[in-house]
A and B are shown apart, each in its own frame.
Chain A
Amino acid sequence: MTPLLSIEHVSKAYDATQALDDVSIEIQPNEFFALLGPSGCGKTTLLRSIAGFEDPDSGAISILGDDGTSTSLLSLPPNKRPVNLMFQSYALFPHMNVRKNIAYGLEREGLSRSEVDARVAEVLETVSLVDKAKARPAQLSGGQRQRVALARAIVKRPRLLLLDEPLSALDRKVRVEMQLELKRLQHEVGITFVVVTHDQEEAMSMADRIAVMHDGRVQQIADPVTLYSRPANVFVADFIGSGTLLPGEVSGDTFSALERRLPCNNASGVHGPAVLMLRPESVRVTPDDSDACLRGSVIETHFYGGSSITAIRVDGVEQPVVARSAGAPRYSMGEEVGLLWDAAEAVVLAVGGSSETPP
């Protein structure tokens, strides 16, 4: 499939910091795509480069038109790009009511009054704000403001909608609601969404695919399940979800730590120092340690209602191994236990430098 948006080898530096370092991403039509990373990773710079508020030092960004030809975005000013940005602060015009805020972009296109009215009415319906058309932004709640900002952007029917931390200004409760709402709206209007977020749960729950960024570089591009179960490198493994990273070494096709060979999935692609990533739900705790992969003593247990977390200290390993199991904790503090996992669920990652995405 021809990508809707192609970002090719884009770099941008501010003084000493490399905000974007040779970033290449392809975004497909109708995709819900997330740019995920800690603050300062370059995700917002990339978003603003697509919108036209930052000028990359090198590289190309192009978008596929309705007629199937691709247009370079970088030569166009922000007001001529077929993309719209929903700002983190929402940036609603305080001196205009909701209706005028939404109509603003359509009026700039020079559409007839009746068409503007019809499209504004339609989008107000979509975001369920018909009764707030005459209200000023200051009179709205956080969630309503977010919906106005969204309506103002989607009413332009952009090829691509960029959303900068769309949920960060909302309360936790409203945030979960709006995650579902955004996903529903994206389906309904059929616009490609690119969301910037630092919240991995938000990205995982909404996006079809995620690009994890760090220090201006793309670390991995994959769907949420792959990111979680098959991270491409130590950064992604650490950033996404929780788990234990066991330091060790690979020689040939075996991973060993603490002078033991440990079961793992993909050691053949890696050489030398490495870590073994174990997700909590992959680790089984057993009282019988005859066939255990590792042994240790229980140092902490937490009960979360439906499931519980057990932390086990293994001699010679700094980080405790964490295991999640259904129901109440079955082991008490200080108890000696064995740890088991399936080779298929343990991922070996090279230390210092990123290995290829495992198949």
Chain B
Amino acid sequence: MSKVGWLRLPLAVTYAFLYIPIVVLVIMSFNASKTPFVWTGFSTKWYGELLNNELIREGFINTMIVAVSATILATALGTMLAIGIARYFRSAIVEAYSLAPAIIPDLALAIGLLALFSLIGVSLSLVSVLLSHVVFGMAFVAAVVIARLGQTDSSLEEASRDLGASAVSTFFRITLPSIAPAIIAGALLVFTLSLDEFVVAYFTDGPTTPTLPIVIYSMVRFGVTPEINALAALLLLVSFTIVLSAQRITRLTDSV
């Protein structure tokens, strides 16, 4: 330990580099001044203003609708995809293509989806955003669950069948509990990704139902206000809570 003591310095610098912008953001969200980068005193008034801002409230509701539904759909479909690939179609190519939407550039995905929606005549609305988020969300869930299925012993399922359980009962009693941590982790991942997803939403959203990131973007175009800082701080709190609880849940279920 003492041999690498000097490494604490670069570690501290790296963490400072990572977290100073976030710390500045949170501090400035409590700034009383109207100009966002000059400190004039402590205030929580921007948080209050935030709640009264009609546009932000609407954007928040739209985002929650999309994020919650996308999480449910992508988790269910992604889990099914993962089980299908891992148990019935073991093929590197099939697996690679199922994960592609998680890796290809957002911009390519967004343009592709927009082209597809106009081709088949789907009008742009929250539904089209939701479908788009399900596309990449599914791929993320599948990636996490496939990895977990790869680690679980498939003879567990055979043992369950051997002991008299039907295929359905085996799925719910043996397969699902052993991949549950991965499913939960995948779901939380989709939720956090959908919550602040901008590029795909910008392309596939209808004009009357902006999601929160689109609302923020249009507000920032006229300059950063302390209100935005407060909003960003709140989003940060939500993301942190989710990530930490995801870690806690996976650890809990792993240790049992």
**Are both chains from one complex?**
yes
Interface residues of A (CB under 8 A from B): 51-53, 77-80, 84-85, 87-89, 91-95, 104-105, 108-109, 136, 152-153, 156
The residue that B178 contacts in the complex, of A51, A78, A94, with Cβ under 8 A, is A94
Q: Does B2 contact A (CB under 8 A)?
A: no
C-alpha spacing A314/B256, complex, angstroms: 64
The residue that B169 contacts in the complex, of A94, A108, A136, with Cβ under 8 A, is A108
The residue that A85 contacts in the complex, of B162, B166, B177, with Cβ under 8 A, is B162
Contact (Cβ within 8 A) B164 A77: no
Interface residues of B (CB under 8 A from A): 153, 155-156, 158-166, 169, 173-174, 177-178, 256
Contact (Cβ within 8 A) B159 A108: no
What residue in chain A is nearest B166 (Cβ atoms)? A79
> In the assembled complex, which residues on chain A have CB atoms less than 8 Å from the CB atom of B174?
93
Report whether over half of chain A's contact residues are helix, strand or loop; otherwise say mixed: loop
Contact (Cβ within 8 A) A91 B165: no
The residue that A95 contacts in the complex, of B161, B166, B256, with Cβ under 8 A, is B256
What residue in chain A is nearest B156 (Cβ atoms)? A91
C-alpha spacing A92/B164, complex, angstroms: 15
Question: With A93-B174, A108-B169 given, can you name 7 additional A-B contacts, CB distance below 8 Å?
Answer: A52-B161, A79-B164, A80-B164, A85-B158, A87-B158, A94-B178, A104-B173
C-alpha spacing A85/B165, complex, angstroms: 14
C-alpha spacing A53/B159, complex, angstroms: 10
**CB of A102 to closest CB in B, whole Å:** 10
Contact (Cβ within 8 A) A77 B178: no
C-alpha spacing A124/B245, complex, angstroms: 38
Contact (Cβ within 8 A) A156 B159: no
Give the tally of cross-chain contacts (CB within 8 A). Answer: 58
**CB of A82 to closest CB in B, whole Å:** 10
C-alpha spacing A175/B173, complex, angstroms: 32
Q: Which of B155, B164, B173: most chain A Cβ within 10 A?
A: B164
Q: Which of B158, B159, B163, B177: most chain A Cβ within 10 A?
A: B163
Contact (Cβ within 8 A) B153 A108: no
> In the assembled complex, which residues on chain A have CB atoms less than 8 Å from the CB atom of B153?
89, 91
Contact (Cβ within 8 A) B163 A152: yes
**CB of B241 to closest CB in A, whole Å:** 26
The residue that A87 contacts in the complex, of B159, B166, B173, with Cβ under 8 A, is B159
The residue that A136 contacts in the complex, of B162, B177, B256, with Cβ under 8 A, is B256
Given known A-B contacts A78-B158, A89-B153, A95 and B164 have beta carbons under 8 A apart? no
Contact (Cβ within 8 A) B164 A87: no
Contact (Cβ within 8 A) A95 B178: yes
> In the assembled complex, which residues on chain A have CB atoms less than 8 Å from the CB atom of B161?
52-53, 77-79
C-alpha spacing A80/B166, complex, angstroms: 9
Contact (Cβ within 8 A) B162 A84: yes
Given known A-B contacts A94-B178, A95-B177, A136-B256, A84 and B155 have beta carbons under 8 A apart? no
> In the assembled complex, which residues on chain B have CB atoms less than 8 Å from the CB atom of A153?
163
Contact (Cβ within 8 A) A89 B155: yes
**CB of B178 to closest CB in A, whole Å:** 7
Given known A-B contacts A93-B174, A95-B178, A95-B256, A105 and B164 have beta carbons under 8 A apart? yes
6 shortest interchain CB distances as A-B pairs: A105-B163, A91-B159, A108-B164, A91-B155, A78-B161, A95-B177
C-alpha spacing A307/B146, complex, angstroms: 57
C-alpha spacing A53/B158, complex, angstroms: 8
> In the assembled complex, which residues on chain A have CB atoms less than 8 Å from the CB atom of B158?
53, 78, 85, 87, 91
**CB of A176 to closest CB in B, whole Å:** 26
> In the assembled complex, which residues on chain B have CB atoms less than 8 Å from the CB atom of A84?
162-163
Contact (Cβ within 8 A) A108 B165: yes
C-alpha spacing A85/B158, complex, angstroms: 9
Q: Which of A51, A88, A105: most chain B Cβ within 10 A?
A: A105
What residue in chain B is nearest A85 (Cβ atoms)? B162
> In the assembled complex, which residues on chain A have CB atoms less than 8 Å from the CB atom of B169?
108
C-alpha spacing A53/B153, complex, angstroms: 15
**CB of B135 to closest CB in A, whole Å:** 32
C-alpha spacing A94/B175, complex, angstroms: 11
What residue in chain A is nearest B177 (Cβ atoms)? A95
> In the assembled complex, which residues on chain A have CB atoms less than 8 Å from the CB atom of B160?
93, 104
Contact (Cβ within 8 A) B165 A79: yes
**CB of B64 to closest CB in A, whole Å:** 33
C-alpha spacing A93/B155, complex, angstroms: 10
